[in-house]
Amino acid sequence: MKIGVLALQGAFEEHIVMLKKLGAETAEVRLSEQLDDLDGLIIPGGESTTIGKLMVDFDLLEPIREFGLAHAIWGTCAGAILLSKDAHREQPLLELMDITVERNAFGRQLDSFEAGLDVDFLKQATGAGDPFHAVFIRAPIIESVGADVETLISLPDGRIVAAQQGHLLATSFHPELTGDTRFHEYFLSLVGAG
């Protein structure tokens, strides 16, 4: 299984390390040709406006959109914003997932925080459903999800921080910054199913 990580800006190296731990073949993606032999793609956290503009400059926006119609893509944080169809701002988006997001939704006081998330749904793919230690950094929330989108994780106050639409996965937080590979394993299970 070969997984690409979009490597224009942001926390792409950390994803590569996690994928390697799980034995996947990896590739840093900066050119559309590099999508050709991939089974799945991760769009990392970073700054979504910057990554979006670079995707336009590198002629990657349309190729990744097409890739996502048939292959698994996982967006973490800024990557989740890029997968959305609406972020309430003028910025390039892939518009692959029927979700709307609010950027930097946790305000100044909670700019960055950590939380133990209930991830019972990970049990089947990974064998362990104990709480996931999640790191949020100037994170978006998933404000609303369309009919075809499954909410995977909400915070106790109801705000959605992980959602899935078929082979597309969006998380507000950064599983690549923890030692816990369960989310990456879950993503690989979506890649394998596709």
Q: By CB under 6 A, name the binding residues for ligand GLN.
A: 45-48, 77-78, 81, 103-104, 137-138, 140
14 noted as active-site residue: no
CB neighbours of residue 105 within 10 Å? 17
* Catalytic residue selected from 77, 102, 184, 185: 77
Q: Which of 81, 171, 184 is nearest to 134 (CA)?
A: 171
The one-letter amino acid at 81: I
CB of 10 to ligand GLN, least distance (A): 6
Q: Length of the chain, please?
A: 194
Give the DSSP H/E element, type plus range, for residue 79.
helix 78-83
Type of residue at 135: V
Closest to ligand GLN by CB, 126 vs 132, is 132
Residue type for position 152: L
Q: CB nearer to ligand GLN: give 101 or 122.
A: 101
Closest distance to ligand GLN from the beta carbon of 137 (Å)? 4
Catalytic residue among 14, 102, 176, 185: 176
Question: Choosing from 15, 71, 167, 174, which is the catalytic residue?
Answer: 174
| CB nearer to ligand GLN: pick between 104 and 124 | 104
170 and 99 Cβ atoms separated by less than 8 Å: yes
Least distance in angstroms from the C-beta of 94 to ligand GLN: 14
Contact 88, 99 (CB under 8 A): no
Residue 162, number of CB atoms within 10 A of its CB: 25
How far apart are CB 44 and ligand GLN at their closest, in Å?
A: 8
Active site residue 133: no
Active site (catalytic) residues: 77, 174, 176
